[in-house]
């Protein structure tokens, strides 16, 4: 079935994907897409190689802290 996954934090949309979710694996793949979006944005904001190497995953976790994942049928 098609679902819309929305990731929000304090009213700000962090990511949105329309996915075909059939089982745990396809749900995990949809969440992986959201993670990838957050990671790409962190990479774009990195100001140096050191910042890039040390802080990308930490920045993703900071963005996810307090975030809400919701889904609904598309």
Q: Exposure of 55 by Cβ count < 10 A (0-12 exposed, 13-18 middle, 19+ buried)?
A: middle
Per-residue pLDDT tens digits for 10-67: 999 999 999 999 999 999 999 999 999 988 888 887 777 776 766 777 888 888 999 9
What does the block give as tokens for 39? 């990671």
Query: What global pTM score does this model have?
Result: 0.79
Angle of helix 24-45 relative to helix 49-64, nearest 10 degrees? 130
Spatial contact of 2 and 70, defined as CB atoms under 8 Å apart: no
pLDDT at position 57, please? Answer: 77
Kindly list the domain boundaries of the chain, sorted by start residue: 2-73
Per-residue pLDDT tens digits for 41-55: 888 877 777 767 667
pLDDT at position 51, please? Answer: 67
pLDDT at position 73, please? Answer: 93
Give the whole-angstrom CA distance, residue 7 versus residue 1. Answer: 19
């Amino acid at each position: 079935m098609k679902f819309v996954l929305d990731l929000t934090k304090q009213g700000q949309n962090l990511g949105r994907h329309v996915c075909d979710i059939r089982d745990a694996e396809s749900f995990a793949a949809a969440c992986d897409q959201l993670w990838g979006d957050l990671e790409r944005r962190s990479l774009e904001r990195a100001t140096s190689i050191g910042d890039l190497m040390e802080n990308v995953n930490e920045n993703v976790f900071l963005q996810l802290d307090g975030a809400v994942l919701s889904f609904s049928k598309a």
